[in-house]
Structure 1
Amino acid sequence: MTDKPSRREFTKATVALVAAATFKPFYILHAKPRNNGEIIGHGTHKYRVRQDWGNLDASKFPVNNCHEMVQDSKGRLIMIGDEVKNNILIYDRSGKLLDSWGHDFPGGHGLTLWNANGEEFLFICDPNTGKVFKTDLKGKILLTIEHPSKVGAYKEKDAFKPTETTIGPDGTIYIADGYGSQWILRYTAKGEYIDKFGGPGDGDSQFSTAHGITVDYRNKTNPTLLVTSRAHNAFKRFTLDGKYLSTIFLPGAFVCRPVIKEDTLYSGVCWSRLRYLNQTDNSGFVTILDKNDKVISNPGGTQPEYRNGVLQLMIQEKPIFMHCHDVCADDDENIYVCQWNAKKTYPIKLERV
């Protein structure tokens, strides 16, 4: 875990950006797609690409954008998208469809699984309707959280487009307003408003696209919040009551939500910086960090490099992915990648090797 980079560190990173932009883009922009079965990744975290995993009959079970995926206690893989013919697709690990439901989430985006003492629930964020829903695993809506103006937290004119939730150890509901007003809002388990923190800006405690959030339990005596600030290429760490602690700076990686499995932190990278250092369409990769928040592998991206403790620019290396929006790691450490704006493709499996 690192603090927000100093001006000197930022200068070093900028130099690396320029160097990468000089030598990488010609190859990347003219490369041909790789074959199914290619092995990607670095070090101890390498994966075989399974592009045909989870493919379905699109006339019966269409997808538009595959937004997020979680795994329940039975090992089922539950995916949310914004296709109202079947917002939820439920797979087994072989890629077989087990169930589908959901017709009421035109912006179906954030999907969080909460295991409450053995009883499991889903939290669904829909930025299009500006609502957050708590459901059971069959889709029955149990709680709805609407525009924060209804509880005095926002003005009526303020945008509320929630993108993600996480649930604290005491049942507190955290909502990331990542496409709206950039606040993290806290509610009780019953949906009663508590407070908010963050907001838009470039300060340490502020966000630019607060796209994702999770509780980091890796320090069991001191759980913290990890919040995405995607346009900052960063995750920001906070106490559970919203006090800023530190920043994990990931230069070049427009990360989506942080996903923690055991001691490892995973994230889909929705865009990479390529030509002219800009946010480049039809790019992306997966990034993986160890328990010390050090990047150890970038499947589909360049090998992570640290110079004098400073992480250098990371960019897409192989044109396998288009806008990695989320990842899900199963019990065998395989990864399932959901993509946004990727020609209506189903999730891709990365099989651990």
Structure 2
Amino acid sequence: MKGNEYLFPHRLTRRDFVKMAATATAGLALPGSGFAEEKKEPVRIGSGYHTYELVEDWGKLPAGMKYGHGCGIIVDSKDRIFVTSRSANPCVAIFDPDGKLLETWSNDFAQKVGYTTAEVADTAHCLYWNKEGDDEFIYWTENVSTNKEGPKKGKRVYKTDLKGKILYQIGNVEKEDSTSQKFDWTNPTDVAVAANGDIYVVDGYGSQRVSRFDKNFKHIKTFGTRGKEHGQFNTCHGVWINTLKGDQEVYIADRHNDRIEVFSPELEYKRTLTGDVRNPCCFYQHKDKLFIPDLASRVTILDANDKLVAHLGDGKDKPDNSKNPSMFAAPHALTVDSHGDLYVVEWVPFGRPRKFKHTPQIA
């Protein structure tokens, strides 16, 4: 008896082999078969055109590094994502859109800004990216340090290149010179730059004042106190120059008044937006939409007419919102890359920077 006749006493046709192959392939997909894992359903937030899919493990740090409370996140012209948190290692992490870690800044960066890494971590807050001509810059805001002993660090706004070198600083500086200027902020939180180079700073954790400077940081105007009337604030946490209506307008995230106050570039009051935001932190404009991280557990998207487009990942009052991948716990800052993908960092002890790929679902 030939070998193949011993193995297959009934002669098999080509059709039999095709049937056997199909059966084997189907068996690989059976739950518990041990041959293949079940396909995991993607995590999605939003709906319709504003649907976003979580990119698993994006922003993961190597062993020995960790995030602190998430502070700022920006994207540059090459779609590199800069993340800063209340961490000494790293103080700043830079990723490509696919989540590859490109750089980390710690000791070298701390030396450039005149601090220790612990002092950087203690005072870290928001970031703002701006393109000026052919060059790109980062504007940083520092909170006041929590150190109860010795001189108080922080209370600065400074402008750097994309390598973290300080080009100009204003606020709590040791001495004034051509690149340093004293200014009395108590606890600044955010900065934005207009098309003509004017710079706007909010003192959101302190005096509740808003200040305007020209492109050389020459002071133009300051106003604001704590309160609920127009021109008053209760944590004026974020500022943005909105151009969606054509003309520039200054949007201020008045966080604990649950509103957005809108002003002219000259800081004259225009209108108030309420109802659609919940503890707004700051802003990011992409194409014809304005994205807002609401610290009270969601992301809000408005259109050019200030109308609500979407609320994403609402985790308010959900006990597992800091662990559930489809929810937000405390979005502190966000950015959107050139592809429309969303990046969010949160005010939780582990920062939780996440990428959500724009995956519109069109009916």
Q: How far apart are residue 192 of structure 1 and its match?
A: 2.2
Instruction: Report 1:220-235 matches (<5 A).
Output: 220=246, 222-235=247-260
Give structure 1 stretches of 5+ with no counterpart.
1-34, 272-283, 303-314
Residues 51-73 of structure 1: per-residue CA shift (max 9 Å, x gap): 421111251x3210221111111
Structure whose alpha-carbon radius of gyration is higher: 2
Which of 80, 84, 87 in structure 2 is aligned with 1:80? 84
Contact 2:281 2:294 (8 Å CA) reproduced:
yes
C-alpha distance in 1, partners of 2:75/2:69?
19
Taking structure 1 as reference, are residues 58 and 206 closer, same or farther at Cα in structure 2, changes over 3 Å only? Answer: farther
Contact 1:186 1:193 (8 Å CA) reproduced:
yes
C-alpha distance in 2, partners of 1:41/1:63?
27
C-alpha distance in 2, partners of 1:124/1:152?
16
Taking structure 1 as reference, are residues 144 and 166 closer, same or farther at Cα in structure 2, changes over 3 Å only? Answer: same
Instruction: Report 1:314-329 matches (<5 A).
Output: 315=316, 319=321, 320-329=327-336
Q: How far apart are residue 211 of structure 1 and its match?
A: 0.5
Taking structure 1 as reference, are residues 93 and 241 closer, same or farther at Cα in structure 2, changes over 3 Å only? Answer: same
The AA in structure 1 aligned to 2:237 is: H
Contact 1:266 1:289 (8 Å CA) reproduced:
yes
Instruction: Report 1:239-258 matches (<5 A).
Output: 239-250=264-275, 253-258=278-283
Contact 1:36 1:51 (8 Å CA) reproduced:
no
Indicate the residue corresponding to 2:26 in structure 1: none
Give the match's secondary structure for 2:312.
coil
Q: How far apart are residue 204 of structure 1 and its match?
A: 1.7
Q: How far apart are residue 298 of structure 1 and its match?
A: 1.1
C-alpha distance in 2, partners of 1:337/1:58?
22
Q: How far apart are residue 78 of structure 1 and its match?
A: 1.3
Q: How far apart are residue 251 of structure 1 and its match?
A: 5.2
Q: Does 1:113 align with 2:117?
A: no
Indicate the residue corresponding to 1:127 in structure 2: 143
C-alpha distance in 2, partners of 1:228/1:242?
14
Indicate the residue corresponding to 2:15 in structure 1: none
Contact 1:55 1:346 (8 Å CA) reproduced:
no
C-alpha distance in 1, partners of 2:264/2:99?
38
C-alpha distance in 2, partners of 1:239/1:195?
13
Contact 1:36 1:50 (8 Å CA) reproduced:
no
C-alpha distance in 2, partners of 1:226/1:63?
29
The AA in structure 2 aligned to 1:291 is: A
Indicate the residue corresponding to 1:217 in structure 2: 243
Q: How far apart are residue 191 of structure 1 and its match?
A: 2.1
Contact 1:229 1:235 (8 Å CA) reproduced:
yes
The AA in structure 2 aligned to 1:89 is: A
Contact 1:68 1:81 (8 Å CA) reproduced:
yes
Indicate the residue corresponding to 2:5 in structure 1: none
Contact 2:276 2:308 (8 Å CA) reproduced:
no
Give the match's secondary structure for 1:211.
strand
**Aligned CA-pair RMSD:** 2.3
Residues 56-100 of structure 1: per-residue CA shift (max 9 Å, x gap): 1251x3210221111111111112222133222111000111112
* Further displaced range: 134-143 or 36-45: 36-45
Instruction: Report 1:96-245 matches (<5 A).
Output: 96-101=100-105, 102-103=109-110, 104=115, 105=120, 106-128=122-144, 129-147=154-172, 160-220=186-246, 222-245=247-270
Q: How far apart are residue 147 of structure 1 and its match?
A: 4.4
Q: Does 1:93 align with 2:97?
A: yes
C-alpha distance in 2, partners of 1:58/1:147?
35
The AA in structure 2 aligned to 1:57 is: P
Which of 297, 313, 324 in structure 2 is aligned with 1:300? 313
The AA in structure 1 aligned to 2:239 is: I
Taking structure 1 as reference, are residues 93 and 152 closer, same or farther at Cα in structure 2, changes over 3 Å only? Answer: closer
Q: How far apart are residue 352 of structure 1 and its match?
A: 1.4
Q: How far apart are residue 197 of structure 1 and its match?
A: 2.1
Give the match's secondary structure for 2:226.
coil
Residues 264-296 of structure 1: per-residue CA shift (max 9 Å, x gap): 01111112xxxxxxxxxxxx1111111111111
* Further displaced range: 199-208 or 237-246: 199-208
The AA in structure 1 aligned to 2:229 is: G
The AA in structure 1 aligned to 2:96 is: D
Give the match's secondary structure for 2:272.
strand
Contact 2:85 2:351 (8 Å CA) reproduced:
no
C-alpha distance in 2, partners of 1:237/1:333?
25
C-alpha distance in 2, partners of 1:291/1:36?
34
Contact 1:40 1:46 (8 Å CA) reproduced:
yes
Bigger relative CO (Cα 8 Å, ≥ 6 apart): 1
Which of 50, 57, 71 in structure 2 is aligned with 1:52? 57
Taking structure 1 as reference, are residues 298 and 171 closer, same or farther at Cα in structure 2, changes over 3 Å only? Answer: same
The AA in structure 2 aligned to 1:76 is: R
C-alpha distance in 1, partners of 2:342/2:276?
23
C-alpha distance in 2, partners of 1:290/1:316?
27
Q: How far apart are residue 324 of structure 1 and its match?
A: 0.7
The AA in structure 2 aligned to 1:37 is: P
C-alpha distance in 2, partners of 1:136/1:36?
41
